[in-house]
Amino acid sequence: MKVAVVGARGRMGATVVQAVENAPDLELVAQLDAADTISAQTLNGAEVAVEFTVPSQTDDNVHALLDAGVHVVVGTTGWTPERLAHVDEHAQRLGKGVLIAPNFSISAVLVMHFSKQAAALFESVEIIELHHPNKVDAPSGTAMSTAAGIAQARAAAQLPPCPDATEDDALGARGAVVDGINVHAVRLRGLNAHEEVIFGNPGEQLVLRQDSFDRESFMPGVLLAVRKVGNEAGLTFGLESYLNLK
């Protein structure tokens, strides 16, 4: 399968270039970056393009890639529901597949998935996300998605709010509250990207934890997406759809 990488000189793009070059069933045919134009000619026969650029450019890039005739795997963040709907319509019209995944780490996707399954079975749940100190936003997007999934599952099971007698928290020690779930953010030198979801019932605890030690952690997910994205026209959101999870 012939693959192009857009944002090839970026941190993620360069790691994808390496991963595609190391995959025996994939052939890297184009590396594009900010100064390059996206066209059938510059894509050089690619069947799939992987896009890791910047939130302000990704939308334009994806539409240009679809017009140039390739399936697209996108890791860039910053998508809105309206933009996703527009991509879906465009991809369906051209019979191309697009996967947009906010997190390509298989362990992170599984923590989100298992959290949704466990959510209805525990009285209490809290999330701790831990990252390197250079991260500019908190809580992480993955923690926000995890909280949203848990909140949805708790609502569907008609669970009451998690028990919490705190009346006075002037310093915010109970963390952020995302969709009713407390989320704590740790920023620590030496860490990369990690998430822990703690579930509690009387007399028992379940801890789900994932650790992404470096950008390599995203590559199995990216390559899986490259191999699968052409199987279905339209937009698929989230890597979980490709993992045969029930």
Active site members: 131, 135
Closest to ligand NAP by CB, 103 vs 107, is 103
Return the closest-CA partner of residue 232 out of 80, 85, 105, 72.
72
Separation between Cα atoms, residue 118 and residue 111, nearest integer Å: 10
Q: What is the dihedral of CA 209, 212, 216, 220, to 10 degrees?
A: 30
Closest to ligand NAP by CB, 76 vs 146, is 76
Q: How far is the CB of 19 from ligand NAP (least distance, A)?
A: 13
Query: Which residues bind to ligand NAP, rule: CB under 6 A?
Result: 6-7, 9-13, 32-34, 52-55, 57, 61, 75-77, 101-104, 218
Neighbours of 38 (CB within 10 A): 23
Q: How far is the CB of 138 from ligand NAP (least distance, A)?
A: 14
Q: How far is the CB of 51 from ligand NAP (least distance, A)?
A: 8
- Cite the beta strand spans of 1-60 per DSSP E: 2-6, 27-32, 48-51
Q: CA separation (Å) from 62 to 66, 72, 87, 193, 240? A: 6, 7, 8, 27, 21
Q: How far is the CB of 135 from ligand NAP (least distance, A)?
A: 10
Closest to ligand NAP by CB, 64 vs 119, is 64
Residue nearest to ligand NAP (CB): 10
Q: How many CA atoms lie within 13 A of 151 on its CB side?
A: 14
Closest to ligand NAP by CB, 199 vs 218, is 218
